[in-house]
Amino acid sequence: MSATMARAPVERLKKTVPVPYTKYLPDFLARNVGHWADRKFHGAGIVEHISDTGDHVFTVKIGGPSNIRFSTETLRKFAKIADAFGSHALRFTRSGSIEIFTESLAAAQKVQREAEAMGFFVGGWGHTLWSIQSCTSYLTCTTAVVDAPSLVQVLYNHLAPYFTGKIPLPAKLRINVGGCPTSCGGLVSDIVLTGHYGAAPDFDQDRVRMCLPMRAEVLGKVTPEVQMVCPVNAIKSFPKPDGSVGVEIIAKKCIGCGRCKDVCDHVVWDPAKIGVSVLIGGKSSNTGVGPTLARVLVPWIPAQAPDYRETVAVVRKIIDVWRADAESGERIADWVNRVGMKRVFEQLKVPLGRWNRPGELNTGFGVRQFLPR
Ligand code: SF4
Ligand code: SF4
């Protein structure tokens, strides 16, 4: 190999890593890099960025669809709006909002009207509900028990006035929704919803035997993978009378984490038990008490697609109680830390018991008092 050939990959990497991101910015943003001096909000969905170059740039924040799923036609419509009224540029936030940049407040307001005419909401800044984060669930994931994007859509339908700022909130509100206990959306949000299997799974005994060791003598030297992944030792393998290997789940030890389902297609769940866990008080900000994980409030309620009425009722109740009791600027985590989890549970009329601790599961437990009577 010649010296030139050996150097080629290194030269190529030098040109592309790190990516010179300013090269891809529109001119009006590129010339202001490092010059931003101030900002000003115009309602819950338009922010004005003030540069010491004398430029003023306006960002319009539009709530995107659940799990950032756009048709190409919708993307083309937003690109046309950015071309007609904006600065020929847009971006997507981590939570799926679309941001379109303009060079005047009047143009930003036109973008807002166009987005609203398409049925999208503009908002999600300051003391509002920020874009709800959703995992992908069934579209690309094998362990989903609840379709997080459809639950998020239902939540948006009910909570839109909090997103647009029409109904004020004490502070920023973040909601994450995950389709299963893996909770890919993360546990550092004010309210976290995760799909929950609601009961210990079982094995499809006819099929699983094909994935187990052929002969019982190897047990002790070989452990089936599906047994190894269980974090609470709830899966047991054993010799069967015919010399083959059997496997079973000890239901009272199972915490419904779904790890066995990750590695085995022959783990089956009772669809009637599928539900949602509700956690509160997560926050990734490092102010005040620092980052905190959300804690289990309601371990299980039925998922009830397509309207998810009990889940929506719980979320609405949490927001109502927080709005009535929190001080200005106090996020749910700060409120919980100030008043104590016991008082939060009392105000929400949720019994505080062993099932409200993470890692425990009672399939008979449900908190159903949130629905209007
Ligand atoms: S939270 Fe569960 S369902 Fe959603 S992407 Fe992660 S593993 Fe899949
Ligand atoms: S769901 Fe989790 S705890 Fe239950 S058997 Fe499977 S791996 Fe074990």
Domain boundaries, the chain: 19-117, 133-199+271-356, 202-268
pLDDT range class, residue 7, cuts 50, 70, 90: low
pLDDT range class, residue 358, cuts 50, 70, 90: very low
pLDDT range class, residue 247, cuts 50, 70, 90: very high
Which range, of 131-145, 170-184, 357-371, averages the lowest pLDDT?
A: 357-371
Domains 19-117 and 202-268 fall in the same CATH topology: yes
Q: Is the pLDDT of residue 339 over 80?
A: yes
Contacts of 127 (CB under 8 A, 6+ apart): 165, 168, 169, 170, 171, 172, 329
Per-residue confidence (pLDDT) for residue 82, from 0 to 100 = 96
Q: Is 176 in the pocket of ligand 1 (CB under 6 A)?
A: no
CA-nearest residue for atom 6, ligand 1, is 184
Per-residue confidence (pLDDT) for residue 300, from 0 to 100 = 86
Picking from 22, 21, 55, the residue whose alpha carbon sits closest to that of residue 36 is 55
Over the stretch 38-81, which tens digit does the pLDDT of each residue have?
A: 999 999 999 999 999 999 999 999 998 888 888 999 999 999 99
Which range, of 125-129, 189-193, 266-270, 350-354, averages the lowest pLDDT?
A: 350-354
Q: Is the pLDDT of residue 1 over 60?
A: no
Q: Is 170 in the pocket of ligand 1 (CB under 6 A)?
A: no
CA of 67 to the centre of ligand 2 (A): 27
Which range, of 18-32, 168-182, 305-319, averages the lowest pLDDT?
A: 18-32
Q: Which ligand is nearest to the CA of 359?
A: 2
CA distance 281 to 294: 5
Q: Is the pLDDT of residue 186 over 90?
A: no
Q: Is 179 in the pocket of ligand 2 (CB under 6 A)?
A: no
Q: Is 184 in the pocket of ligand 1 (CB under 6 A)?
A: yes
| 19-117: CATH, from 2.60.40.3880, 3.90.320.10, 3.30.1360.120, 3.30.70.3340 | 3.30.70.3340
Per-residue confidence (pLDDT) for residue 171, from 0 to 100 = 96
Average pLDDT, the chain: 86
If you classify domain 202-268 with CATH, what class do you get? alpha beta
Q: What's the pTM?
A: 0.84
CA of 210 to the centre of ligand 2 (A): 20
Q: Is 278 in the pocket of ligand 2 (CB under 6 A)?
A: no
Which amino acid is residue 206, in one-letter code? D
Per-residue confidence (pLDDT) for residue 370, from 0 to 100 = 53
* Domain 133-199+271-356, classified CATH 3.30.413.10, yes or no: yes
Over the stretch 87-108, which tens digit does the pLDDT of each residue have?
A: 898 999 988 899 999 999 999 9
Q: Is 199 in the pocket of ligand 2 (CB under 6 A)?
A: no
Q: Is 144 in the pocket of ligand 1 (CB under 6 A)?
A: yes
Contact between 182 and 263 (Cβ < 8 Å): no
Q: Is the pLDDT of residue 225 over 70?
A: yes
Q: Is the pLDDT of residue 180 over 80?
A: yes
Per-residue confidence (pLDDT) for residue 356, from 0 to 100 = 58
